[in-house]
A and B are shown apart, each in its own frame.
Chain A
Amino acid sequence: MSRTRSEERSGWLFVLPFTISMMLFFVFAIVRTAYYSFTDFDLFEAPSFVGMSNYTALVSDELFLLALRNTIGFSLIVTTTQTVLALALAVLVNHAVRARGLVRTVFYLPSIMSSAAMTLIFLWLFQRNGFMTAIVSVMLAYRQHILLFLVGMAALHGALVLNARRSYEGVSIFDPFFLLVAAVGALALAVSCALAGLLSVFDNNLPISWLNTQRHFLFMPVTLWSVALMNVFTTVPTLMLLFLAGLQSIPSSLYDAAEVDGANAFQRFRHITVPALRPVTFAVVTMGVIGTLQMFDQVAILGDAAPLASRVTLAYYVYENAFPEGASSRIGMASAAALVLGILTITAVYVQKSLGVKEKGE
């Protein structure tokens, strides 16, 4: 009995520092935020109770609705893309035989750079006459060449694989030798056609606004699509490491048994890798949802480089109300929006836990 009590006491002592910081910086902060959300408070005058008026003002504020829509769209796009890409990269890196350490380091590099530095680099890349515009311009100008190369490569590769399968069983569709030969052949075909004057080069000297624009693409401003690209680039490497750790904990005997049973690479991935990685996927998706719903730093650094309506997210909306340029703080509105953001985050995590990715592996 006394030993149990002693263990219990030790347990409480171990969690005490964390409990204190939780109470101070989370519970106390949440309670105060909830209180301020029902008040009119400018940081100086004593808060005055205004009931639900901050919440009704939020609902009628176009900027808030825009921020809400942008945040949800951004979160969906980035979380999905980064999870899929991180998994694909992890599988790729896991299969790398030579220079595995170097490959991992290279892929991980974007994650160790500061968010501010990366944003500034991307600001430069996303200039209207910048690198991204140049890539798109080249692709548009040489679209016939690119199309011919892709079609040629697919045809050549398909022919090579089918031909090989007539002689040997189990030739992979991703056979690297055939891929290389098909790529060289398709390149030669495209170059020959270009030299023979059979392909046209299209003029398109149009600067593209990636950031400084109010245009929309699908359900999100083009500016936020650009920020999403930037975000995916910086977060995928970290998530890839998590998947990699998960992949290396899957016993190879499972793959061997499946191979003996005749399962192909896709079937092994679908029936062994994906189920075994469920706990990691849950962590990755949860981190992704939380991180993207709270997107702030990259849009804040963008500043005047992009119109407010094209980059506003819920977290930025909170900041805009807490510290409006040249006006008194609207802490009540900021607190109400912060609570909405908090509730949205908890709901999103709960929904994905209930309907989407399960916590436990199979």
Chain B
Amino acid sequence: MLFRPGVFVAATMLCLPASAEETVRISGWGGSEVAIVNGLLTNVVAEKLAKEGIRVKYEPVDGDYSQIIINGLSAGTAPDLFYVDTFWARSVFSAGQAAPVTSDVSGFAANLLTAFTYDGKLYSTPKDFNTLAIHFNKDIFDDAGVDYPSNDDTWTTLQEKLVAVHKSLPEVDGLCVVPEYARFGAFALSTGWSPFDTRGKTILDERFRRAFGFYTGLVKSGAAVMAADAGHSWTGGCLASERAAVAIEGAWILSALRDSAPNMNLGTVRMPKDPESGKRGNIVFSVGWSVNAASKVSKAAAKVAELLTTEEAQQWVLEQGLALPSRTSLTDNPWLRGGEPEQIASRVVLEGLSDDHVTPYFFGDVGGSWMQPINAALNSVILGEEDANKALQSAQSAFDRMLAR
């Protein structure tokens, strides 16, 4: 979606009596997030903001959000309140650019709070989150005469179903795989493997190798195709175009399907278990609201963050089917117990938060570079350019060099 600053700014100005008001500049992503924040500002918190004498100026950003925020923070032009992704939160928190959260956070999911904690202090109020789940097209499984994926699936049983779909419907692949830790990581974690050991090192042990062998073997077994070979950049693209029966994504897939495949007979189940450990792994992707430490209206900004993440606000977002709440009390929300595909998908993604081995999408001081050796190894093995042993040896050497610095 293109960024139209004039429209956004005009549409998001909330006017209040000029005398006592403070203006708080807030910023978030573009795309579907614009509807969420605009909806919250106008439908849920407008009156409360007026009562507090706060005027909000909303500045959504399309493009590389983290780069724009970090540039703005260093230049002193950043908004008073902005999104922080767990992925790059450390670079903002460690630089002292975010003000600690002082409001009551007892109602938020504990592992989300951990993800936003640095040096013993919480610097961001969790806005929402996502985990990975198996989304599938029921019609394809019906046409192929294959059982739907289920919550009881292991890697093996899921793979068997995917192979069976492809055998029955050769023009459809079971799954589109991407050579990225962001998807493969859930399988590696389910074995009990951890990205960093107690000494802070990354060791690609036997558990990792087992998950690696399974994931890279999906293409060879006929269960999957490389997403790029199917003309897509993500697994959701393959599902939406009915090129694949299954996608491994978070609840963000719902808005994409709403646009590109609104009539899809969608089903969603939890990530499969490792057949050996019997456990599930998952990755949490989360975003929070952080107050700019240099803001001249930091109290008002903190109040806006508080209002945008209240139970009432999160319930509104949830019931619009826009994002998953970070407050534990909303787990029992009646909307989540509904039988509509979007409600089921949201419930499953919410349940992913309590899988056996869950880690945030965050790699300490190393940042996204940490994923490079794994992504390169996945890529070369899936393409058949290297065997697994050689690829993993190279990856281990790369980790040893990277973490020795």
Spell out A's residues near B (CB within 8 Å): 42-45, 62, 127-129, 207, 209, 212-215, 304-305, 307-309, 323-329
Contact = CB atoms under 8 A, between A and B. Distances in A.
B383 A209 contact: yes
The interface residues of chain A, by DSSP majority, are classed as loop
A128 B226 contact: yes
B252 interface: no
Given A44-B73, A44-B95, A323-B67, A62 B383 contact: no
Interface of B: 64, 66-67, 70, 73-74, 87-88, 90-91, 94-97, 180, 226, 228-229, 231, 233, 362-363, 365-369, 372, 375-376, 379-380, 383, 385-386, 401
Nearest to B91: A328
A323 B72 CA distance: 13
B362 to A, nearest CB: 7
The interface residues of chain B, by DSSP majority, are classed as helix
Contacts of A307: 375-376, 379
27 contacts: A42-B91, A43-B74, A43-B95, A44-B95, A44-B97, A127-B228, A129-B229, A209-B383, A212-B228, A212-B383, A305-B228, A305-B233, A307-B376, A308-B376, A323-B66, A323-B70, A325-B66, A325-B369, A326-B87, A326-B90, A327-B365, A327-B368, A328-B90, A328-B91, A328-B94, A328-B95, A328-B365
B146 to A, nearest CB: 26
Given A44-B95, A329-B91, A128 B367 contact: no
Contacts of B383: 209, 212-213
Nearest to B391: A214
Given A44-B95, A326-B367, A214 B226 contact: no
A349 to B, nearest CB: 31
A214 B362 contact: no
A215 B365 contact: no
Contacts of B64: 323
A325 B88 contact: yes
A321 to B, nearest CB: 10
Contacts of A209: 383, 385
Contacts of B385: 209, 213-215
Contacts of A326: 66, 87-88, 90-91, 362-363, 367-368
Nearest to A130: B231
B156 to A, nearest CB: 27
A-B pairs with lowest CB-CB distance, top 3: A327-B367, A325-B368, A326-B367
B379 A212 contact: yes
B91 to A, nearest CB: 4
B229 A207 contact: yes
A304 B229 contact: no
A327 B375 contact: no
Contacts of A308: 372, 376
A329 B74 CA distance: 11
Contacts of A329: 70, 91
Nearest to B228: A212
B363 to A, nearest CB: 6
B228 A325 contact: no
A327 B95 contact: no
A309 B379 CA distance: 12
Contacts of B375: 307
A44 B385 CA distance: 42
B102 to A, nearest CB: 22
A58 to B, nearest CB: 13
B368 to A, nearest CB: 3
A62 B229 contact: no
A305 B231 CA distance: 11
Most A C-beta atoms less than 10 A away, residue of B73, B91, B229, B375? B91
Contacts of B365: 327-328
A133 to B, nearest CB: 10
Given A128-B229, A129-B229, A214-B386, 18 more contacts: A42-B91, A43-B73, A43-B95, A44-B95, A44-B97, A209-B385, A212-B228, A212-B383, A214-B379, A214-B380, A304-B233, A305-B228, A309-B376, A324-B369, A325-B66, A326-B88, A327-B365, A328-B90
Nearest to A45: B95
Contact of B367 (A44, A129, A325): A325
B241 to A, nearest CB: 15
A129 B74 CA distance: 44
A325 B180 CA distance: 15
A42 B90 CA distance: 13
A231 to B, nearest CB: 21
A129 to B, nearest CB: 6
A323 B70 CA distance: 9
A129 B96 CA distance: 48
Contacts of A215: 385
Contact of B229 (A127, A214, A324): A127
A302 to B, nearest CB: 11
B380 to A, nearest CB: 5
Contact of A327 (B228, B366, B380, B386): B366
B72 to A, nearest CB: 11
A309 B97 CA distance: 32
A214 B382 CA distance: 12
A44 B94 CA distance: 10
Contacts of B376: 214, 307-309
A315 to B, nearest CB: 16
A326 B362 CA distance: 8
A163 B380 CA distance: 56
